[in-house]
Amino acid sequence: MTAELNRQRVLTMLENYYAGDLEGTLERCTDDVEFFSNAPIDILPHLGGHHGKAELRAMWQTVGQRYSEMRHEVAIMVAEGDRVAALIRLFLRKRSNARVVQFDLAVFYTLRDGRICQIREVMDTFDLVGQVLERDLSTLLTGKPEGES
């Protein structure tokens, strides 16, 4: 029962966030919420680790400044007790040139008293960095066009 309730809480938080309701999203987090996204912070400096609502607000505001539209599709959810894992497909439109960045994100949430107190993210950062910088990193590293062995 708790797992199903927490699953719904995470879904609602995601709906809030991707609808642009930043304060509504933060209301669903504890004051001491911890966030960690495994990402190269020299290229994506707004990711990495953050602690507390103020830091999360600043990070999400940075994301909002970079992308004009954000859309999500929850592909898979697994919930057990106070933990929920979600595999989410994201579509983010860049403000700079209107191109869409599309990638899958694995997020692990921990809840306490019905609020999210920990967020851990894993994504294919090689693919994401390539899309953000608009560079074919495989070609850069191998010297071969994509798909050529």
Residue numbers at the binding site for another protein (CB under 8 A): 38-40, 42-44, 75-76, 78-80, 83-85, 87, 96, 104-106, 108, 110, 120, 122-129, 132-135, 137-142, 144, 146-149
Q: Considering beta carbons, is residue 53 or 66 the nearer one to another protein?
A: 66
The alpha carbon dihedral of 41, 45, 47, 49 has a sign of positive
Beta strands in 26-137 (DSSP E): 29-37, 48-51, 67-80, 83-94, 100-112, 115-123
Q: What is the smallest separation between the CB atom of 28 and another protein, expressed in angstroms?
A: 19
Residue with smaller CB distance to another protein, 61 or 126? 126
Nearer to another protein, 30 or 131 (CB): 131
Q: Are 77 and 10 in contact (CB under 8 A)?
A: yes
